[in-house]
Amino acid sequence: ITVHPRPDERHITRADVPDLMNLIMQEFPDREFNIEGYPNEAFMTLVEKIRPHQITLVPDDPSQATSDHGWDFKTHAYKLQTIVSRLKQTGARISLFCDPDPDQVEPAVSTGTDRIELYTGPYGGAVDDPAKAAGELEKLGLTADAAHSHGLEVNAGHDLTVDNLPPLIARIPDLAEVSIGHNLTSDALTYGMAETVRRFRRACGQVV
């Protein structure tokens, strides 16, 4: 389960976070809890208290409707290095949101992060332009190749669907995890949540 406790709590409230952690630990101990957000002091204090399995850091302005870009690691590497070092004291795996740009990988490595999460928005947004989608997919693939060559694991998220996931998985077969939010919920209105989850798992190449 991934949650993004934004300051205005439009997605989830801060009070929900410990309840979800308790639910996972008690009833689904083989599952993970990932808390995503911008690393201001309020967020840092929250994840240090909850100690989730994974912490994903995004460069969002609090007023943004959703995440729409990755970190500029060349500019913010030192700042992120300090933040990552502090958050690793929780025992969590750290993942940093990353644009599909191989040149960002080496400075990302210098932060000490465990993973990057590829921002797949441009790929997902090219649904009506196959040539553009192919180009965006290759940028994602090259970035993942660079990350794996430096020992980083790779997540991916944003605008992923049952249709665009199979090509992504084919190009990045070592993808560690994908984050599905809006499309999972919207598809569930048609197929129901259980069948929607099965559909997405099949799109990721899992046998269900």
pLDDT, mean over the chain: 93
Q: In this structure, how many other beta carbons lie within 10 angstroms of the beta carbon of residue 104?
A: 22
Q: How many domains does the chain have?
A: 1
The tokens for 201 are 């798992």
List strand residue ranges (DSSP E) for 120-164, in order.
153-157
Task: Annotate 94-112 with DSSP letters as a single string.
Answer: EEEEE-S-GGGHHHHHTTT
Residue 142 belongs to some domain of the structure: yes
For residue 148, give the CATH number of its domain.
Answer: 3.20.20.70
Residues marked active site are found at 4, 36, 158
Cβ-Cβ contacts under 8 Å for 179 (sequence gap 6 or more): 2, 34, 117, 155, 156, 157, 158, 160
pLDDT at 116: 98
Of 131, 137, 139, 69, nearest to 103 by C-alpha is 139
Residue 177 belongs to some domain of the structure: yes
Mean pLDDT of 81-94: 97
* pTM attached to this predicted model: 0.92
